[in-house]
Structure 1
Amino acid sequence: MKRGNSTGVTEFVLLGLSQTREIQLFLFVLFLVFYSMILPANILIILTIQGDPHLGSPMYFFLANLAFLDICYCSVTPPKMLADFFSHHKNISYGGCMAQLFFLHFLGGAEVFLLMGMAFDRYVAICHPLHYASMMSREVCCALVGAAWAVGFMHSILQVVLIIRLPFCGPNELDNFFCDITQVIKLACTDVYMLEFFMFFNSGLSIMMCFLLLLISYGALLVRLRAGDPSKGTSKAASTCVIHVIIVFIMFSPAIYIYCRPFRSFPLDKVVYVFHTVVFPLMNPIIYTLRNKEIISAMKRLLGRHRLCQRK
Structure 2
Amino acid sequence: MNKQSARNLMLIISMIASIDHLLAAPKKPNKNSNQNQPPVKKPIKIDTELPLQIFYPGDIKTKFTDIAGLDIAKSCMLDIISYLKDSSKYDAIGAKITKGILFDGSTGNGKTMLARAFAGEVNCPFISMNGASFVEMYVGVGPSRVRELFLIARKLAPCIVFIDEIDALLAARGSDKEYSNTVNAFLTEMDGLFNDNTTIIIIGATNRINALDEAAIRPGRFDRKIYITKPTLEARVQLLENQFKKVKHAPGLDIYYIAQMTTGFSCAELTNLVNEAAIIAVNTNSLWVEMTHIRQAFDRMRNHRS
The answer to whether TM tops 0.5 is no
**TM-score if structure 2 supplies the norm length?**
0.22
Which structure has the higher relative contact order (CA within 8 Å, separation 6+)? 1
**Larger helix percent:** 1
**Larger strand percent:** 2
- In our comparison, the structure showing a higher alpha carbon Rg is 2
